Amino acid sequence: MDKTAIRNLLDQEIVKTEKKIEEYEEMSSPVSPDDAIGRVSRMDAINNKSVTEAALRQSKDKLSKLRHALHRVDEDDFGLCKRCGKAIPVMRVALMPQSPFCVNCAR
């Protein structure tokens, strides 16, 4: 497994995730009761805010895991499943670099 390529991939994912977090934070601003948008529209805005806040929490969690994975790239056990100890396929590491488990153990 090419550690430089994995490190670059993690860096790219971190940048994308940080950008998503910024967007979600902007979208999750409070819904002001002073806005004359109507009762149904206000309820819709509040519902959308809840969905955005959930996405924001997930993105922050992913960012934390990505940063942890970036710090672990040079460790000997990086790319090995935490549960079974087998090598995690390179494509899985490329798609989900923050996951410490192989596909079978992640289920």
Using one digit for the tens of pLDDT, what is the confidence trace for 50-79? 899 999 999 999 999 889 888 988 898 888
Burial code of 19-55, b = ≥16 C-beta within 10 A, e = fewer? ebbeebeeebeebeeeeeeeeeeeeeeeeeeeebeeb
Instruction: Tell me if 65 sits within 8 A of 93, measured CB to CB.
Output: no
pLDDT at 36 over 60: no
Which tokens hold the place of 65?
Answer: 């895991």
Distances (CA, A) of 33 to 11, 22, 103: 40, 24, 47
Q: What is the pTM of this model?
A: 0.76
What pLDDT sits at residue 59? 94
The pLDDT tens digits for 39-51 are 667 677 778 888 9
What pLDDT sits at residue 32? 64
Please name the amino acid found at residue 35. Answer: D
